[in-house]
Amino acid sequence: MEIIHIHHPYDKNQIPDEQVVLALGYFDGVHRGHQEVIKRAKEVADQKQLKLAVMSFNHHPSIVFQKMNPDTMQYLSTVKRKAEIFESLGVDYFFVIAFTSAFASLRPQDFVDQYISGLHAAAVVAGFDYTYGPREIADMKQLVNYAKDRFEVIEVEELKNAAEKISSTHIREALAEGNMEKANAYLGYVYQIEGTVIHGDARGRLLGFPTANIQTEKHTRLPRNGVYIVSIKVNGTWYRGTASIGHNITFEADRDKTVEVYILDFNKMIYGEDVIVRWHHFIRSEIKFSGVEQLIAQLKKDEAETIAYFQDHRLNEVSI
Ligand SMILES: Cc1cc2nc3c(=O)[nH]c(=O)nc-3n(C[C@H](O)[C@H](O)[C@H](O)COP(=O)(O)O)c2cc1C
Ligand SMILES: Nc1ncnc2c1ncn2[C@@H]1O[C@H](COP(=O)(O)OP(=O)(O)O)[C@@H](O)[C@H]1O
Protein backbone atom coordinates (compact mmCIF):
# COMPACT_ATOMS: atom_id res chain seq x y z
CA MET A 1 0.00 0.00 0.00
CA GLU A 2 1.22 3.46 -0.86
CA ILE A 3 0.55 6.34 1.58
CA ILE A 4 0.15 9.68 -0.18
CA HIS A 5 0.14 12.84 1.95
CA ILE A 6 -1.73 15.68 0.30
CA HIS A 7 -1.83 19.34 1.17
CA HIS A 8 -4.31 21.65 -0.54
CA PRO A 9 -3.75 22.82 -3.25
CA TYR A 10 -2.00 19.67 -4.37
CA ASP A 11 0.33 18.91 -7.24
CA LYS A 12 -1.37 16.64 -9.80
CA ASN A 13 1.85 14.64 -10.15
CA GLN A 14 1.22 13.24 -6.68
CA ILE A 15 -1.88 11.40 -7.86
CA PRO A 16 -1.40 7.89 -9.32
CA ASP A 17 -2.19 7.83 -13.00
CA GLU A 18 -4.93 5.21 -12.88
CA GLN A 19 -8.61 4.91 -12.00
CA VAL A 20 -9.51 3.81 -8.48
CA VAL A 21 -12.46 2.92 -6.32
CA LEU A 22 -12.37 5.46 -3.50
CA ALA A 23 -13.63 4.86 0.05
CA LEU A 24 -14.29 8.07 2.00
CA GLY A 25 -14.36 8.68 5.73
CA TYR A 26 -12.41 9.84 8.74
CA PHE A 27 -12.36 6.22 9.99
CA ASP A 28 -11.21 6.84 13.59
CA GLY A 29 -10.42 3.38 14.93
CA VAL A 30 -11.38 1.73 11.62
CA HIS A 31 -14.11 -0.13 13.52
CA ARG A 32 -16.43 -2.80 12.12
CA GLY A 33 -18.71 -0.21 10.52
CA HIS A 34 -15.74 1.39 8.76
CA GLN A 35 -14.42 -2.04 7.80
CA GLU A 36 -17.79 -2.73 6.16
CA VAL A 37 -17.37 0.38 3.98
CA ILE A 38 -13.86 -0.64 2.96
CA LYS A 39 -14.83 -4.26 2.29
CA ARG A 40 -17.69 -3.08 0.07
CA ALA A 41 -15.27 -0.78 -1.76
CA LYS A 42 -12.86 -3.70 -2.14
CA GLU A 43 -15.61 -5.83 -3.75
CA VAL A 44 -16.42 -3.04 -6.18
CA ALA A 45 -12.73 -2.54 -6.98
CA ASP A 46 -12.28 -6.27 -7.62
CA GLN A 47 -15.36 -6.35 -9.88
CA LYS A 48 -14.09 -3.40 -11.87
CA GLN A 49 -10.49 -4.64 -11.71
CA LEU A 50 -9.38 -1.33 -10.28
CA LYS A 51 -7.13 -0.40 -7.40
CA LEU A 52 -8.70 0.42 -4.03
CA ALA A 53 -7.99 3.81 -2.47
CA VAL A 54 -9.05 5.31 0.87
CA MET A 55 -9.19 9.02 1.59
CA SER A 56 -8.90 10.24 5.14
CA PHE A 57 -7.47 13.23 7.02
CA ASN A 58 -4.37 13.90 9.07
CA HIS A 59 -6.48 15.11 11.99
CA HIS A 60 -10.12 15.43 12.83
CA PRO A 61 -12.19 18.05 10.93
CA SER A 62 -13.51 19.36 14.27
CA ILE A 63 -10.13 21.10 14.72
CA VAL A 64 -11.12 23.41 11.90
CA PHE A 65 -14.91 23.46 12.25
CA GLN A 66 -15.31 23.44 16.04
CA LYS A 67 -11.97 25.07 16.81
CA MET A 68 -10.93 22.07 18.90
CA ASN A 69 -7.39 22.24 20.23
CA PRO A 70 -5.25 19.93 18.07
CA ASP A 71 -2.89 19.30 21.02
CA THR A 72 -5.56 17.74 23.20
CA MET A 73 -7.35 15.68 20.56
CA GLN A 74 -7.29 11.96 21.28
CA TYR A 75 -7.84 9.28 18.71
CA LEU A 76 -8.68 5.59 18.61
CA SER A 77 -6.10 5.18 15.88
CA THR A 78 -3.04 7.04 14.67
CA VAL A 79 -2.50 7.51 10.94
CA LYS A 80 0.07 4.69 11.20
CA ARG A 81 -2.43 2.33 12.80
CA LYS A 82 -5.10 3.21 10.24
CA ALA A 83 -2.58 2.44 7.51
CA GLU A 84 -1.90 -1.02 9.01
CA ILE A 85 -5.60 -1.86 9.13
CA PHE A 86 -6.25 -0.50 5.63
CA GLU A 87 -3.39 -2.57 4.30
CA SER A 88 -4.81 -5.71 5.90
CA LEU A 89 -8.14 -4.94 4.16
CA GLY A 90 -6.46 -4.82 0.76
CA VAL A 91 -6.20 -1.06 0.23
CA ASP A 92 -3.70 0.01 -2.46
CA TYR A 93 -3.56 3.78 -1.91
CA PHE A 94 -4.12 5.71 1.32
CA PHE A 95 -4.59 9.42 0.68
CA VAL A 96 -4.00 11.42 3.87
CA ILE A 97 -5.37 14.91 3.29
CA ALA A 98 -4.15 17.72 5.55
CA PHE A 99 -7.41 19.06 6.97
CA THR A 100 -6.74 22.79 6.74
CA SER A 101 -9.05 25.80 6.54
CA ALA A 102 -8.27 26.11 2.83
CA PHE A 103 -9.30 22.49 2.21
CA ALA A 104 -12.34 22.76 4.50
CA SER A 105 -13.71 25.82 2.74
CA LEU A 106 -13.83 24.18 -0.69
CA ARG A 107 -17.36 24.30 -1.98
CA PRO A 108 -18.86 20.84 -2.46
CA GLN A 109 -18.55 20.94 -6.25
CA ASP A 110 -14.88 21.92 -5.98
CA PHE A 111 -14.25 19.20 -3.40
CA VAL A 112 -15.86 16.65 -5.69
CA ASP A 113 -13.97 17.89 -8.77
CA GLN A 114 -10.57 18.08 -7.09
CA TYR A 115 -10.69 15.32 -4.49
CA ILE A 116 -12.95 12.69 -6.04
CA SER A 117 -12.67 13.14 -9.80
CA GLY A 118 -9.19 14.59 -9.30
CA LEU A 119 -8.09 11.38 -7.58
CA HIS A 120 -9.44 9.46 -10.61
CA ALA A 121 -12.32 7.78 -8.80
CA ALA A 122 -14.47 5.53 -10.98
CA ALA A 123 -16.67 4.86 -7.95
CA VAL A 124 -17.00 6.30 -4.47
CA VAL A 125 -18.04 4.25 -1.46
CA ALA A 126 -18.97 5.85 1.87
CA GLY A 127 -21.18 5.30 4.88
CA PHE A 128 -24.78 6.50 4.80
CA ASP A 129 -23.91 9.48 7.04
CA TYR A 130 -20.89 10.79 5.13
CA THR A 131 -20.91 14.56 4.61
CA TYR A 132 -18.44 16.94 3.02
CA GLY A 133 -17.98 20.59 2.19
CA PRO A 134 -17.86 23.52 4.60
CA ARG A 135 -19.68 22.64 7.79
CA GLU A 136 -21.03 19.40 6.41
CA ILE A 137 -23.44 20.93 3.96
CA ALA A 138 -23.51 18.18 1.38
CA ASP A 139 -24.44 14.54 1.89
CA MET A 140 -24.36 11.26 -0.03
CA LYS A 141 -27.66 12.00 -1.82
CA GLN A 142 -26.30 15.24 -3.24
CA LEU A 143 -23.04 13.59 -4.22
CA VAL A 144 -24.81 11.97 -7.18
CA ASN A 145 -25.60 15.43 -8.61
CA TYR A 146 -22.09 16.75 -8.07
CA ALA A 147 -20.70 13.58 -9.70
CA LYS A 148 -22.15 14.59 -13.11
CA ASP A 149 -21.92 11.00 -14.30
CA ARG A 150 -18.15 10.87 -13.83
CA PHE A 151 -18.25 8.23 -11.10
CA GLU A 152 -20.64 5.84 -9.39
CA VAL A 153 -21.83 6.58 -5.83
CA ILE A 154 -22.28 3.63 -3.47
CA GLU A 155 -23.73 4.17 -0.02
CA VAL A 156 -23.15 1.61 2.73
CA GLU A 157 -25.85 1.15 5.39
CA GLU A 158 -25.07 1.55 9.06
CA LEU A 159 -23.84 -1.53 10.88
CA LYS A 160 -25.73 -2.22 14.08
CA ASN A 161 -24.97 -4.36 17.06
CA ALA A 162 -28.32 -5.24 18.64
CA ALA A 163 -30.10 -1.87 18.68
CA GLU A 164 -27.02 0.32 18.74
CA LYS A 165 -25.05 1.78 15.87
CA ILE A 166 -21.40 0.77 15.83
CA SER A 167 -19.70 4.15 16.10
CA SER A 168 -16.44 5.69 17.26
CA THR A 169 -18.45 7.59 19.90
CA HIS A 170 -19.82 4.38 21.42
CA ILE A 171 -16.31 2.89 21.40
CA ARG A 172 -14.92 5.96 23.19
CA GLU A 173 -17.71 5.60 25.77
CA ALA A 174 -16.88 1.91 26.27
CA LEU A 175 -13.19 2.80 26.81
CA ALA A 176 -14.22 5.44 29.35
CA GLU A 177 -16.07 2.70 31.27
CA GLY A 178 -13.26 0.16 30.92
CA ASN A 179 -15.67 -2.04 28.97
CA MET A 180 -13.02 -3.60 26.75
CA GLU A 181 -15.29 -6.46 25.72
CA LYS A 182 -17.70 -3.99 24.11
CA ALA A 183 -14.97 -1.75 22.66
CA ASN A 184 -13.17 -4.74 21.14
CA ALA A 185 -16.39 -6.24 19.78
CA TYR A 186 -17.25 -2.96 18.04
CA LEU A 187 -13.70 -2.48 16.77
CA GLY A 188 -13.48 -6.00 15.39
CA TYR A 189 -9.99 -6.32 16.87
CA VAL A 190 -8.38 -5.92 20.28
CA TYR A 191 -7.75 -2.24 21.07
CA GLN A 192 -4.04 -1.50 21.05
CA ILE A 193 -1.67 1.33 21.76
CA GLU A 194 1.96 1.79 20.91
CA GLY A 195 4.67 3.42 22.95
CA THR A 196 8.24 3.44 24.13
CA VAL A 197 9.50 1.97 27.42
CA ILE A 198 10.84 4.74 29.64
CA HIS A 199 12.26 4.89 33.17
CA GLY A 200 9.93 5.11 36.16
CA ASP A 201 10.90 5.33 39.83
CA ALA A 202 12.67 1.91 39.81
CA ARG A 203 10.33 0.83 42.64
CA GLY A 204 8.59 -1.97 40.76
CA ARG A 205 11.55 -4.34 40.92
CA LEU A 206 11.72 -3.89 44.72
CA LEU A 207 8.06 -4.90 45.01
CA GLY A 208 8.76 -8.04 42.99
CA PHE A 209 6.65 -6.59 40.18
CA PRO A 210 8.86 -4.72 37.72
CA THR A 211 6.73 -2.65 35.37
CA ALA A 212 7.60 -1.35 31.94
CA ASN A 213 6.49 2.30 31.99
CA ILE A 214 5.17 3.19 28.56
CA GLN A 215 5.23 6.61 27.00
CA THR A 216 2.39 6.67 24.51
CA GLU A 217 1.99 8.97 21.54
CA LYS A 218 0.29 12.11 22.90
CA HIS A 219 -2.91 11.76 20.87
CA THR A 220 -3.57 8.22 22.10
CA ARG A 221 -6.95 7.70 23.76
CA LEU A 222 -6.40 5.51 26.81
CA PRO A 223 -9.05 3.36 28.45
CA ARG A 224 -10.21 4.59 31.89
CA ASN A 225 -7.75 4.46 34.76
CA GLY A 226 -7.43 1.09 36.46
CA VAL A 227 -5.86 -2.34 36.21
CA TYR A 228 -6.19 -4.49 33.08
CA ILE A 229 -5.34 -7.83 31.57
CA VAL A 230 -3.24 -7.06 28.50
CA SER A 231 -0.91 -8.64 26.01
CA ILE A 232 2.29 -6.88 25.11
CA LYS A 233 4.52 -7.29 22.08
CA VAL A 234 8.22 -6.88 22.82
CA ASN A 235 10.77 -7.49 20.08
CA GLY A 236 8.33 -9.46 17.94
CA THR A 237 6.99 -11.73 20.73
CA TRP A 238 3.63 -11.48 22.51
CA TYR A 239 3.59 -11.87 26.30
CA ARG A 240 0.83 -11.88 28.90
CA GLY A 241 0.73 -8.79 31.10
CA THR A 242 -1.09 -6.99 33.88
CA ALA A 243 -1.24 -3.26 33.28
CA SER A 244 -2.03 -0.23 35.35
CA ILE A 245 -3.19 3.15 34.12
CA GLY A 246 -3.12 5.61 36.98
CA HIS A 247 -1.19 7.78 39.34
CA ASN A 248 0.51 5.30 41.73
CA ILE A 249 -1.68 6.80 44.45
CA THR A 250 -0.27 4.55 47.15
CA PHE A 251 3.09 6.30 46.84
CA GLU A 252 2.56 9.73 45.42
CA ALA A 253 0.03 12.48 45.78
CA ASP A 254 0.11 14.11 42.37
CA ARG A 255 2.10 11.93 40.02
CA ASP A 256 1.34 12.30 36.31
CA LYS A 257 -0.66 9.51 34.78
CA THR A 258 1.45 6.45 33.97
CA VAL A 259 0.82 3.42 31.80
CA GLU A 260 2.79 0.46 33.13
CA VAL A 261 2.85 -3.23 32.33
CA TYR A 262 4.09 -6.06 34.52
CA ILE A 263 5.09 -8.67 31.94
CA LEU A 264 4.60 -12.30 32.95
CA ASP A 265 7.46 -14.76 32.41
CA PHE A 266 9.82 -11.98 31.46
CA ASN A 267 13.10 -10.73 32.82
CA LYS A 268 14.94 -8.32 30.52
CA MET A 269 15.81 -4.66 30.50
CA ILE A 270 13.81 -3.11 27.69
CA TYR A 271 14.21 0.63 28.15
CA GLY A 272 13.96 2.42 24.81
CA GLU A 273 12.07 -0.45 23.13
CA ASP A 274 8.90 0.25 21.17
CA VAL A 275 6.08 -2.00 22.36
CA ILE A 276 2.44 -2.67 21.49
CA VAL A 277 -0.11 -3.19 24.27
CA ARG A 278 -3.49 -4.84 23.63
CA TRP A 279 -6.24 -4.22 26.17
CA HIS A 280 -8.35 -7.32 26.86
CA HIS A 281 -10.16 -6.93 30.17
CA PHE A 282 -10.62 -4.40 32.98
CA ILE A 283 -9.96 -5.94 36.39
CA ARG A 284 -10.43 -3.14 38.94
CA SER A 285 -9.96 0.52 39.79
CA GLU A 286 -6.72 1.87 41.24
CA ILE A 287 -6.63 1.56 45.05
CA LYS A 288 -4.77 3.67 47.61
CA PHE A 289 -3.25 0.96 49.81
CA SER A 290 -2.24 1.55 53.41
CA GLY A 291 1.11 -0.13 52.78
CA VAL A 292 3.38 -1.90 50.36
CA GLU A 293 2.40 -5.38 51.64
CA GLN A 294 -1.24 -4.78 50.77
CA LEU A 295 -0.28 -3.57 47.28
CA ILE A 296 1.90 -6.64 46.71
CA ALA A 297 -0.89 -8.98 47.89
CA GLN A 298 -3.27 -7.34 45.41
CA LEU A 299 -0.72 -7.50 42.57
CA LYS A 300 -0.46 -11.27 43.19
CA LYS A 301 -4.24 -11.57 42.84
CA ASP A 302 -4.16 -9.50 39.64
CA GLU A 303 -1.44 -11.77 38.27
CA ALA A 304 -3.47 -14.89 39.13
CA GLU A 305 -6.49 -13.39 37.35
CA THR A 306 -4.32 -12.72 34.30
CA ILE A 307 -3.05 -16.31 34.25
CA ALA A 308 -6.63 -17.63 34.56
CA TYR A 309 -7.80 -15.36 31.74
CA PHE A 310 -5.18 -16.64 29.34
CA GLN A 311 -6.15 -20.23 30.11
CA ASP A 312 -9.42 -19.48 28.31
CA HIS A 313 -8.15 -16.96 25.73
CA ARG A 314 -5.38 -17.43 23.23
CA LEU A 315 -2.52 -14.99 23.64
CA ASN A 316 -2.17 -14.58 19.91
CA GLU A 317 -5.86 -14.07 19.27
CA VAL A 318 -6.15 -13.15 15.65
CA SER A 319 -6.40 -9.40 15.59
CA ILE A 320 -5.82 -6.90 12.84
C1 LIG B 1 -1.00 -4.63 37.74
C2 LIG B 1 -0.69 -3.38 38.52
C3 LIG B 1 -1.62 -2.88 39.41
C4 LIG B 1 -1.36 -1.74 40.15
N5 LIG B 1 -2.29 -1.28 41.02
C6 LIG B 1 -2.01 -0.21 41.78
C7 LIG B 1 -2.96 0.29 42.73
O8 LIG B 1 -4.06 -0.23 42.88
N9 LIG B 1 -2.61 1.35 43.50
C10 LIG B 1 -1.40 1.96 43.35
O11 LIG B 1 -1.16 2.92 44.08
N12 LIG B 1 -0.50 1.56 42.45
C13 LIG B 1 -0.77 0.48 41.66
N14 LIG B 1 0.15 0.06 40.75
C15 LIG B 1 1.34 0.88 40.49
C16 LIG B 1 2.49 0.57 41.42
O17 LIG B 1 2.39 1.41 42.53
C18 LIG B 1 3.76 0.85 40.63
O19 LIG B 1 3.89 -0.13 39.63
C20 LIG B 1 4.96 0.86 41.50
O21 LIG B 1 4.90 1.95 42.34
C22 LIG B 1 6.25 0.92 40.66
O23 LIG B 1 6.40 2.14 40.02
P24 LIG B 1 7.65 2.41 39.04
O25 LIG B 1 7.42 1.60 37.77
O26 LIG B 1 7.58 3.88 38.78
O27 LIG B 1 8.85 1.97 39.76
C28 LIG B 1 -0.12 -1.08 39.98
C29 LIG B 1 0.82 -1.57 39.07
C30 LIG B 1 0.54 -2.71 38.34
C31 LIG B 1 1.54 -3.23 37.35
N1 LIG C 1 8.71 -8.88 33.99
C2 LIG C 1 8.97 -7.60 33.68
N3 LIG C 1 7.97 -6.74 33.43
C4 LIG C 1 8.23 -5.46 33.13
N5 LIG C 1 9.46 -4.93 33.04
C6 LIG C 1 10.51 -5.75 33.30
C7 LIG C 1 10.31 -7.12 33.63
N8 LIG C 1 11.51 -7.67 33.83
C9 LIG C 1 12.42 -6.71 33.64
N10 LIG C 1 11.84 -5.54 33.31
C11 LIG C 1 12.59 -4.30 33.08
O12 LIG C 1 12.56 -3.58 34.30
C13 LIG C 1 11.95 -2.30 34.13
C14 LIG C 1 10.93 -2.10 35.21
O15 LIG C 1 11.50 -2.12 36.51
P16 LIG C 1 11.04 -1.05 37.58
O17 LIG C 1 11.75 -1.32 38.83
O18 LIG C 1 9.54 -1.00 37.61
O19 LIG C 1 11.65 0.26 36.95
P20 LIG C 1 10.97 1.57 36.35
O21 LIG C 1 10.39 2.28 37.51
O22 LIG C 1 12.09 2.29 35.69
O23 LIG C 1 9.93 1.10 35.39
C24 LIG C 1 11.26 -2.34 32.78
O25 LIG C 1 11.31 -1.08 32.12
C26 LIG C 1 12.06 -3.37 32.02
O27 LIG C 1 13.15 -2.75 31.36
**ipTM, two decimals:** 0.96
Cβ–ligand 2 distance for 271 under 6 Å, the answer yes
Average pLDDT estimate for 243-262: 92
- Write the pLDDT tens digit of every residue in 69-127: 999 999 999 999 999 999 999 999 999 999 999 999 999 999 999 999 999 999 999 99
Q: State the amino acid at position 168 in one-letter form.
A: S
Cβ–ligand 2 distance for 202 under 6 Å, the answer yes
Q: Report which protein residue has its CA nearest ligand 1's atom 17.
A: 248
Residue 28 near residue 168, CB atoms below 8 Å: yes
Q: State the amino acid at position 20 in one-letter form.
A: V
Cβ–ligand 2 distance for 207 under 6 Å, the answer no
CA distance 96 to 19: 18
Sign for the CA dihedral angle at 133, 134, 140, 145 comes to negative
Question: Residue 64's CB: how many other CB atoms inside 10 A?
Answer: 20
Query: Which residues, including other chains, have CB under 8 Å from residue 246's CB and lie 6 or more apart?
Result: 225, 226, 257, 258, 286
Q: What is the pLDDT of residue 88?
A: 97
Cβ–ligand 2 distance for 273 under 6 Å, the answer no
- Write the pLDDT tens digit of every residue in 28-48: 999 999 999 999 999 999 999
- Which domains are delineated in the chain? 2-161 (3.40.50.620), 190-286+293-312 (2.40.30.30)
Query: Does 135 score more than 70 pLDDT?
Result: no
Tell me the pLDDT of the chain averaged across its residues. Answer: 95
- CA 319 to ligand 1 centroid distance, Å: 28
CA distance 110 to 133: 9
Q: What is the pLDDT of residue 319?
A: 72
* SS3 at position 208: coil
Q: Report which protein residue has its CA nearest ligand 1's atom 9.
A: 287
Cβ–ligand 2 distance for 189 under 6 Å, the answer no
